[in-house]
Amino acid sequence: MAAAPNKRGTSLKATIKDQSGAGKLKIGELLSKEGQITNTQFQAAQNQMKKGGGRLSSILLQMGHIDPETIVNVLGRLYGYQVVKYSDIKPSPQLIQAIPFQEIKEYLAFPLGARSDQIVITMTEPTDTTAVEELKEKINGFLKTNKNLKVCVSTENDIIEAYRDFYKISEEEYKEFIHFDDEPEDEEPVTSVDDFGSLVSEAADELEVHEVDDSSTSDEFMASDAPIIKLVNGILTKAIQDGVSDIHIEPFEKSLQVRYRLDGSLFKSMNLPLSIKNAVLSRIKILAELDIAERRVPQDGRIKLRLGKKKTVDFRVSTLPTLWGEGIVMRILDQSALNVDLSKLGFETDTFKAIKRCINRPYGLLLVTGPTGSGKTTTLYSLLNRLNQDDTKILTAEDPIEFNFRGINQVPVKDSVGMTFAAALKAFLRQDPDIIMVGEIRDITTAEIAIKAAMTGHLVFSTLHTNDCPSTIGRLIDIGIPSYMLASAVTMVLSQRLGRRLCPECKQEVTGYDPNELELYGFNKKEIPKLKIMGPKGCAHCNGTGYKGRVGLYELMEVTDEVAKAINANVPEDQLRKLAVQEGMVTLRDAGLEKVRQGVTSLDEVLKKTTITKEALPAYLVNPDIEKYEDKDVIIREGNNDIDFFKLVKGAVYVVKGGKKIAEITEPGEYFGEMAAITGEARTASIVSKGRSEVKRFPGDKLLEVIEKYPDVANHLFGVLANRLDHANKLLLKTAAQKTDKH
């Protein structure tokens, strides 16, 4: 039985002018047919279109029934339309000038180009045959031609951005395309406290009436009192309003202290009386669904606080038994404040290019490292968000899941029931993933599975708690991963810190630094005289701190061929660092100093967050230093007692003795100066560059290590020694023969 012909391979084209208006609904019918929307959603969108007009695709997008990419994926994959992304839109200026913006904006169409027999445009709804026919007539009228129309498909956002960039539309016109909810969202918090002192007094006075004991019944009763509820809600909402990241509630001998962490620094917010300690802590534990009777062991929970009709903020709650009672730390997880745009995280240009290279590879292990609170989670989410497409399966194992994302399968890790990172990772490999994210590599089992997944065609992301990129490799080796596996599996290591950003309203220039100290901090000696360093002052905009917001400092070690060889050779951490710098890595300190040069952060902030790693480290075990010389530069000076020796890489050099040229070295690979390293004697001749030359320097004081590492150098040195010994032996024999003849 012959198979029915597949009609999906060709685009949907209008053959006669559609007078019925059905073309406007065609996109909804196709999406419903493919299961992207339900019939109920389709009907609701049609009703909305009848009431207020507009395009069906825009209404479906507004109502949240489809993603921005849904239409282009369906039409491109199933119906043969060419998909045009914003980066591919490069129209001719003549076409933009000839076709007025006002005539095409109602169709959400954009002209791409004109050919000899057709005009190419892109639309959000190329299935609307009525719109296509009208556009064909209008465009041919403007261009005074009679050509066919080739229609492509783009997302609504790409076309709007093209309008702004190529038609240079105004902000007012641009905002006309941006849709807002009909009903403004109620952003008013559930509780707003103006006078915490009065509320605390009220809570304390009310609790003094009752006999206070340590029973859970009493705690639960007190925690349900109205002043306590208002106080806890006020603490939570004040933190959200002030933009803090963490709330610390800490019991001490005579008070209950509340501190907030803002831009990475803690500050005291309020002191509460001990009489309400148990009630406040119990109220928080009730909200987080924790056991209020259990005070002996740490507990973890989560609070979901609703701030309006749609906005909710999560708090990750952690309790810890201390000397004076339970301490509670709450991490604020506000998804509306989360920035997962990779291009806006503050990467320098070269670092950003390297990251894009690494994440666009089909497989490999990509590690993000740094201490707690350094922004690792945000960076990982930004990387995954950039890779999150309909054709990519992404699985993550997290403890806990801080934010949820559409299109990413997120799995919570629960050690208590055996759902560990290792168990999740094993299950992931049977789920046909393209990209895997493991919250943290903690043990050999997780590390082994992650490495093997990266070596078998998966892109794997994870985090480690290490100080910098080179130490990450050492940490994995300590866990038990062989160096040869790391060399082939690890693609990138990104180490990061978060520093406070200087307030743009009040930052000021700071003078008085000692030039010698600045050089020790890592600045180049030549730039110091003209260096302009900014520092904090303090104003109303930044609450007197001098800082507003945070800036990322990034150290990226891309595992190039040379770095992979070094990892495979088990070189020490300091040598790996130097080689990585030679391969393009910018250290955390250098990244911080660049932010200081740009006036983004202060020098004190950089010194607090990073350490200096001077490159006075021996590179001879991995890759000896290559030195460049100009014409007549002296490489070795006659009579000097230095003992380094050299290998010619490019160009030529003269051998000069007593001011006269006695020889010339021209062959790349030839060695010179090695006798001083072997004997320790003073130089017997000078070596001068002939034109421009490049040489490799080998340290004479590390001769045994050089011989062990480089067989070719060892062969040469032993050959020189053998020739010298042979020559010395012949001289001895000749001298002995002369003495015999005399007798």
Final residue before a domain boundary, out of 566, 586, 606: 586
CA distances from 163 to 104, 134, 180, 369, 654 (A): 10, 20, 20, 41, 65
Final residue before a domain boundary, out of 160, 177, 194: 177
CATH number for the domain spanning 404: value is 3.40.50.300
The answer to whether residue 523 sits within a structural domain is: no
Q: What is the count of structural domains for the chain? A: 4
Least confident segment among 111-125, 380-394, 443-457, 608-622: 608-622
- Find residue 605's DSSP bridge partners: none
Strands 490-502 and 364-369: parallel
Specify whether 367 is located in the same domain as 296.
no
**pLDDT tens per residue, range 490-532:** 999 999 999 999 999 999 999 888 888 888 888 888 888 989 9
User: Looking at residue 610, what DSSP letter applies?
Assistant: -
Number of H helices, E strands in the chain: 27, 24
Specify whether 565 is located in the same domain as 706.
no
pLDDT mean across residues, the chain: 82
Specify whether 305 is located in the same domain as 391.
no
Specify whether 165 is located in the same domain as 32.
yes
For residue 512, what are its two tokens?
A: 């008085």
Beta strands, E only, 465-510: 490-502, 508-509
pLDDT band at 212; cut points 50, 70, 90: very low
CA 365 to chain CA centroid, Å, is: 14
Write down the residue that tokens 């010994």 correspond to: 725
Beta strands, E only, 282-311: 299-306
For residue 213, what are its two tokens?
A: 């004991």
Specify whether 566 is located in the same domain as 437.
yes
- Find residue 661's DSSP bridge partners: 656
The answer to whether residue 89 sits within a structural domain is: yes
642: three-class secondary structure by DSSP:
coil
CATH number for the domain spanning 154: value is 3.30.300.160
Give the pLDDT score at 491: 95
215: three-class secondary structure by DSSP:
coil
Q: How many CB atoms lie within 10 A of CB 456?
A: 10
The answer to whether residue 513 sits within a structural domain is: no
Size (the chain), residues? 743
Mean pLDDT on 547-574: 90
pLDDT band at 203; cut points 50, 70, 90: low
Q: Is the dihedral of CA 516, 522, 525, 526 positive or negative?
A: negative
Specify whether 317 is located in the same domain as 394.
no
Concatenating the DSSP letter of every residue in 75-134 gives HHHHS-PPB--GGG----HHHHHHS-HHHHGGGTEEEEEE-SSEEEEEES-TT-HHHHHH
pTM tops 0.95, yes or no: no
Q: In whole angstroms, what is the distance from residue 232 CA to residue 198 CA?
A: 14
pLDDT at residue 546 is higher than 60: yes
Specify whether 580 is located in the same domain as 439.
yes
Structural domain that includes position 133: 27-177
pLDDT band at 197; cut points 50, 70, 90: low
Least confident segment among 340-354, 539-553, 729-743: 729-743
Specify whether 575 is located in the same domain as 433.
yes
Residue 696 makes CB contacts below 8 A (sequence gap 6+) with: 624, 625, 626, 627, 646, 647, 649
The answer to whether residue 680 sits within a structural domain is: yes
Specify whether 331 is located in the same domain as 347.
no
pLDDT at residue 392 is higher than 50: yes
Write down the residue that tokens 């029931």 correspond to: 417
**pLDDT tens per residue, range 565-587:** 989 988 888 888 888 888 889 99
The answer to whether residue 543 sits within a structural domain is: no
User: Looking at residue 414, what DSSP letter applies?
Assistant: B
Half-sphere exposure of residue 401, counting CA atoms within 13 Å on the CB side? Answer: 14
Q: In whole angstroms, what is the distance from residue 85 CA to residue 105 CA?
A: 18
The answer to whether residue 594 sits within a structural domain is: no
**pLDDT tens per residue, range 462-499:** 999 898 999 999 999 999 999 999 999 999 999 999 99
Q: Which conformational region is residue 259 in: left (phi greater than 0), alpha (psi within -120 to 50 degrees), or beta?
A: beta
Final residue before a domain boundary, out of 336, 352, 371: 336
User: Do residues 124 and 116 lie in contact, with contact meaning Cβ atoms separated by under 8 Å?
Assistant: no
**pLDDT tens per residue, range 234-289:** 899 888 888 888 999 999 988 899 999 988 888 888 888 888 888 899 999 999 99
Percent of the chain with pLDDT over 90: 27
The answer to whether residue 10 sits within a structural domain is: no
Give the pLDDT score at 275: 86
Question: Phi and psi dihedrals of 318, rounded to 5?
Answer: -135, 125
Specify whether 378 is located in the same domain as 398.
yes
Report the candidate in 272, 283, 175 with the shortest Cα–Cα distance to residue 219. Answer: 283
| Exposed/middle/buried for residue 741 (C-beta within 10 Å: 0-12, 13-18, 19+) | exposed
Strands 459-464 and 409-412: unpaired
CATH number for the domain spanning 295: value is 3.30.450.90
Specify whether 350 is located in the same domain as 466.
yes
The answer to whether residue 676 sits within a structural domain is: yes
pLDDT at residue 226 is higher than 80: no
378: three-class secondary structure by DSSP:
helix
Specify whether 324 is located in the same domain as 392.
no
CA 307 to chain CA centroid, Å, is: 30
CATH number for the domain spanning 694: value is 2.60.120.10
